[in-house]
């Protein structure tokens, strides 16, 4: 696999080069270097080509490359709260867990500073941990919500840049005093705007081409924002060429939807509020979308705004089940989000698994069955045959969930031509997956050499046991249902190695 050292794009594959010696000869002939070799990496790489890694993918091996995961919705400052939510639901969870945690991320006496150094050391440690942890789970690109703090938001951008993770960084805007607590909010719509501009300028100065890190305009969600603030932010996004990305939440929880209706009685719907303020654009990421109406879905599709499906979070906070099949059937663009810490895990593999599970349960919900009985009633009042077919159709396949985790996510961030796959010309953002194989009954099928030589305890490298008779498709299914970060052996962003499993 050959990747340009200049821009990290895939130049091609060489299926003939079956042995390392052949590859070395080929490289010598073409003047290419192996970036994994410290002796040749660096100075004498004339900026031309790079060999990223040689992997044998014949059927007796247990490793494969997979496109890096794209997390289209994650809150970096909520990471310490992962798994802590008790039995709260969205609105009381924000009040009890989230706002108190986020409010501690900035230094109050350094409110206007842009300098990452004016950030509490605890914030830096947590942000560094989030970036390291998501990388170790194979997330090569993430769209982060930070906090309202300028310097801390810039620090997160700098950490992603330094560690080599592709990222969108959003300084959270929340200025509505009727919803936001006095200890954690912007003083005015004006402050939401100027503080946002401040982080945009910092990030664009740090990475002028936006090769790795880009700013994203982040009104937290409708209840936290005043009308002037929403208006300012919509205008701000449009004032850039190309227009800036936008991220927010929509229709996650039924009490939230009712609250939005109360707060914005003049709007036809939740999506309608965002549309009024020009916040529904082809570069807008809408997280959750659990309770959208058909009219709202139509509006979102018309504006070509994108959906971040966060199934682990939707289940954990009891928000509901988003109708992903409907989104896909209607032609919406969908990716996956961990929504840490509404979601309890930083893993997009977990999000993919939960997307499959949620879709399998949706067919059994009252709302769904009611609808199906209405359409499919077969005369005995139970709508059995129809409902059975439809519950089957609702199921997301493993392959579809992996599509959402990669190419779907790439489309959500408007980078479908660059990310999410291994097409020639795409950027090499990738993870090397290693599956284990430790079968006590069938020792002859041991595929993990280290495990077979008893150099590692079973389960240390991987808890996914595979067998020599299994097809690649089966191995990939086992990875999705049973895998975790132990299976992520190495991670590259833009052809650069950014993580290796210890």
Kindly list the residues in this chain that would bind Fe ion in the complex (CB under 5 A): 339
Read out DSSP for 147-201? Answer: -S-HHHHHHHHHHHHHHT-EEEEE-EE---TTTS-TTSS-SSHHHHHHHHHHHHH
Shortest distance in whole angstroms from residue 221 CB to Fe ion: 8
Give the span between the Cα atoms of 394 and 377, in whole angstroms: 18
CA distance 437 to 459: 9
Distance CA 81, CA 103 (A): 13
For tokens 């928000």, what's the residue?
Answer: 319
Which residues does 425 contact at the CB level (< 8 Å), separation at least 6?
A: 9, 10, 417
What is the nearest approach in angstroms of ligand GUN to the Cβ of residue 239? 25
Q: Is 149 in the site for ligand GUN (CB under 6 A)?
A: no
Q: Which of 339, 414, 418, 429 binds ligand GUN (CB under 6 A)?
A: 339
Nearest distance from C-beta of residue 78 to Fe ion, angstroms: 8
Q: Which does 431 bind (CB under 5 to 8 A by kind): ligand GUN, Fe ion, none?
A: none
What's the alpha-carbon Rg for the chain, to the nearest Å?
24
Cβ pair 225, 270 in contact under 8 A: no
CB of 91 to ligand GUN, least distance (A): 9
The partner in contact with residue 353, picked from Fe ion, ligand GUN, none with C-beta cut-offs of 5 to 8 angstroms by kind, is: none
Peptide bond before residue 334 is cis, with ω within 30 degrees of 0: no
One of 252, 414, 429, 470 touching ligand GUN (CB under 6 A): 252
Span of 90-98, 120-128, 400-408, 443-451 interacting with ligand GUN by CB under 6 A: 90-98
136 binds, among Fe ion, ligand GUN, none (CB under 5 to 8 A by kind): none
Q: Please identify, using beta-carbon distances, which residue of 94 and 173 lies nearer to ligand GUN.
A: 94
Using the minimum distance from each CB to Fe ion, give the nearer residue, 316 or 432: 316
Report in angstroms how near the CB of residue 360 gets to ligand GUN at its nearest. 22
470 binds, among ligand GUN, Fe ion, none (CB under 5 to 8 A by kind): none
Instruction: Give 165's strand partners.
Output: none
The residue among 168 and 403 lying less far from ligand GUN, judged by its C-beta, is 168
Question: If you search the block for the tokens 């996914």, which residue do you land on?
Answer: 464
Instruction: Give the tokens for residue 200.
Output: 């945009």
Told to check if 220 binds ligand GUN by CB under 6 A, we report yes
Among residues 2, 161, 184, 221, which is the contact residue for ligand GUN, using CB under 6 A? 221
Which residues, other chains included, contact 454 with Cβ-Cβ below 8 Å and sequence gap of 6+? none
Q: What does 159 bind: ligand GUN, Fe ion, none (CB cut-off 5 to 8 Å by kind)?
A: none
Rounded distance between C-alpha atoms, residue 392 and residue 199, angstroms: 46
Q: Do 202 and 154 meet the contact criterion of CB atoms below 8 Å apart?
A: yes
Minimal distance, residue 257 CB to Fe ion, in Å: 15
Q: Nearest distance from residue 187's CB to ligand GUN, in Å?
A: 19
**And the tokens for 80?**
């310490």
* Closest distance of CB 252 from Fe ion, Å: 8
Find where tokens 């091996």 sit: 61
Q: How far is CA 106 from CA 9, 181, 240, 251, 282, in A?
A: 37, 16, 28, 29, 32
Query: Is residue 75 near ligand GUN by the rule CB under 6 A?
Result: yes
313 counts as binding ligand GUN under rule CB under 6 A? yes
| Rounded least distance, CB 249 to ligand GUN, Å | 4
Spatial contact of 160 and 499, defined as CB atoms under 8 Å apart: no
221, interface contact from Fe ion, ligand GUN, none, CB < 5-8 Å by kind: ligand GUN
Q: Could you tell me the CA-to-CA distances from 176 to 95, 101, 220, 267 in Å, in that order?
A: 14, 19, 11, 17
Binding mask 259-298 for ligand GUN (x = CB under 6 A): ----------------------------------------
Q: How far is CA 165 from CA 21, 62, 116, 396, 480, in A?
A: 32, 26, 18, 29, 23
Closest CA to 359 of 399, 322, 330: 322
CB of 90 to ligand GUN, least distance (A): 6
Footprint on residues 230-249 left by ligand GUN (CB under 6 A): 249
Task: Kindly determine how many residues on this chain lie close enough to bind ligand GUN according to the rule CB under 6 A.
Answer: 11
Is residue 165 within 8 Å of 134, Cβ to Cβ?
A: yes
What is the Cα–Cα distance from 500 to 502, expressed in whole angstroms? Answer: 6
Question: According to CB under 6 A, which one of 98, 199, 338, 354 is a site residue for ligand GUN?
Answer: 98
H/E element holding 375? helix 366-376
Taking CB positions, which residue lies at the least distance from ligand GUN?
342
DSSP 239: T
Among 342, 346, 383, 494, interactor with ligand GUN by CB under 6 A: 342
Nearer to Fe ion, 296 or 339 (CB): 339
What's the rounded Cα separation, in Å, for the pair 285 and 300? 11
Nearer to ligand GUN, 145 or 403 (CB): 145
Q: Which residue number, 90 or 203, has a Cβ lying nearer to ligand GUN?
A: 90
251 vs 487, which CB is nearer to Fe ion?
A: 251
Nearest approach, Cβ of residue 228 and Fe ion (Å):
23
Q: Tell me if 71 contacts ligand GUN by CB under 6 A.
A: no
Contact set with ligand GUN (CB under 6 A): 75, 90, 94, 98, 220-221, 249, 252, 313, 339, 342
């Amino acid at each position: 696999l050959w990747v340009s050292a200049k821009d990290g794009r895939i130049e091609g594959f060489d299926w003939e080069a079956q042995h390392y010696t052949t590859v070395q000869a080929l490289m010598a002939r073409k003047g290419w270097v192996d970036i994994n070799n410290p002796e040749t990496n660096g100075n004498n790489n004339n900026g031309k080509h790079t060999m990223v890694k040689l992997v044998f993918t014949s059927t007796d091996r247990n490793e494969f490359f997979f496109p890096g995961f794209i997390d289209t919705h994650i809150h970096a400052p909520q990471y310490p709260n992962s798994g802590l939510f008790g039995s709260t639901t969205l609105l009381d969870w924000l009040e009890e867990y989230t706002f108190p945690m986020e409010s501690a991320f900035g230094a109050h006496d350094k409110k206007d500073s842009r300098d990452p150094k004016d950030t509490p050391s605890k914030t830096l440690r947590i942000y560094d941990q989030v970036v390291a942890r998501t990388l170790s789970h194979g997330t090569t690109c993430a769209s982060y919500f930070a906090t309202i703090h300028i310097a801390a938001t810039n620090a997160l951008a700098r950490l992603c840049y330094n560690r080599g993770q592709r990222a969108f960084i959003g300084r959270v805007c929340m200025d509505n005093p009727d919803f936001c607590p006095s200890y954690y909010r912007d003083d005015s719509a004006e402050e939401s705007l100027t503080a946002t501009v401040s982080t945009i300028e910092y990030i664009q100065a740090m990475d002028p081409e936006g090769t790795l890190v880009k700013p994203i305009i982040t009104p937290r969600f409708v209840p936290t924002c005043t009308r002037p603030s929403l208006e300012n932010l919509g205008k701000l996004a449009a004032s850039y060429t190309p227009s800036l990305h936008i991220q927010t939440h929509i229709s996650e929880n039924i009490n939230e939807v009712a609250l939005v209706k109360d707060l914005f009685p003049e709007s036809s719907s939740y999506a309608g509020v965002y549309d009024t303020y020009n916040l529904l654009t082809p570069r807008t990421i809408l997280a959750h979308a659990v309770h959208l109406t058909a009219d709202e879905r139509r509006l979102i599709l018309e504006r070509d705004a994108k959906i971040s499906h966060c199934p682990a979070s939707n289940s954990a906070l009891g928000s509901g089940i988003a109708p992903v099949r409907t989104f896909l059937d209607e032609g919406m663009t969908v990716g996956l989000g961990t929504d840490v810490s509404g979601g309890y895990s930083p893993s997009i593999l977990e999000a993919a698994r939960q997307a499959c599970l949620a879709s399998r349960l949706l067919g059994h919900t009252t709302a769904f069955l009611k609808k199906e009985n209405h359409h499919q009633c077969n005369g005995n009042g139970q709508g059995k045959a129809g409902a059975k077919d439809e519950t089957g159709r609702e199921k997301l396949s493993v392959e579809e969930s992996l599509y959402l985790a990669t190419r779907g996510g790439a489309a959500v961030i408007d980078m479908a031509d660059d990310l999410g796959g291994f097409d020639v010309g795409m950027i090499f953002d990738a993870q090397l997956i290693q599956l284990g194989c430790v079968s006590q009954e069938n020792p002859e099928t041991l595929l993990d050499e280290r495990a077979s030589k008893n150099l590692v305890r079973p389960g240390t490298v991987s808890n996914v046991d595979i067998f020599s008779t299994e097809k690649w498709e089966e191995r990939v299914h086992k990875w999705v249902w049973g895998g975790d970060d132990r299976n992520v052996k190495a991670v590259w962003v833009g052809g650069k190695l950014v993580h290796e499993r210890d």
